[in-house]
Amino acid sequence: MISLVLIRKTNYSVRRIMLSFNAVITIIAGIIFGAEQSLYTLISLYTNAKVIDTTEKAKIQLTVVISKQKLDVIRDLMLKYTNHGLTYTEAKGGYTGDEKRIIYTVITRDKLQTLSSLIHRIDPSSFIAIQDVVEVKGKFITA
């Protein structure tokens, strides 16, 4: 539970936070119960953390519908925070008739929570749709 709270509050990956907590506990147990079992557990923890981190780096499609007035601020935020390109287009709200913008981008899952929170702070009425992406062709930087 502590790991989940830290993930939401910091920019650290799931792997890094969980590995750190578990490593500290395992090292303490190794001091008390013996180093050999502790080393095997640390190897297992590291392997587990790598698998989790790989899953977290999965790519997702992020589609954001925002007010016309907030486009520049949110576009700049997304470009700065993700280092990924994006596409936007004009739209009109079907219910309200208001002028809107739709921003489309592909980001890694580990950036989703923070980015969507920042977008909602700037435009509380924004609509965000999230979809898993199976494959991306072309230039996509995962770092």
Tens digit of each residue's pLDDT (9 = 90 or more) over 17-54: 777 888 888 888 888 888 887 888 888 888 877 776 66
Contact in structure between 8 and 113 (CB atoms under 8 Å):
yes
Contact in structure between 90 and 99 (CB atoms under 8 Å):
yes
**Domain shared by 64 and 111, yes or no:** yes
Mean pLDDT of 82-111: 86
DSSP per-residue codes, 20-66: HHHHHHHHHHHHHH-HHHHHHHHHHHHHHHHHHHHHHT-EEEEEEEE
Domain boundary (20, 35, 56) is at 56
pLDDT value at 58 more than 70: no
Q: Work out the burial of residue 131: count CB atoms within 10 Å of its CB; fewer than 13 is exposed, 13-18 middle, 19 or more buried.
A: exposed
Structurally, the chain folds into a number of domains equal to 2
**Domain shared by 72 and 48, yes or no:** no
Q: Residues of the chain with pLDDT > 90: what percent?
A: 3
**Domain shared by 77 and 42, yes or no:** no
Residue 57: its pLDDT value, please? Answer: 61
Q: Is residue 85 part of a domain?
A: yes
- In this prediction, residue 89 has a pLDDT band, given cuts at 50, 70 and 90, of very high
Q: Is residue 104 part of a domain?
A: yes
Question: Angle at CA 11, nearest 5°, toward 103 and 127?
Answer: 25
Q: Work out the burial of residue 66: count CB atoms within 10 Å of its CB; fewer than 13 is exposed, 13-18 middle, 19 or more buried.
A: buried
For the chain, state the CA radius of gyration.
20
- HSE at residue 35, side-chain half, CA atoms within 13 A, is 0
Q: Is residue 78 part of a domain?
A: yes
**Domain shared by 26 and 88, yes or no:** no
The residue range of the domain holding 49 is: 2-56
- In this prediction, residue 62 has a pLDDT band, given cuts at 50, 70 and 90, of confident
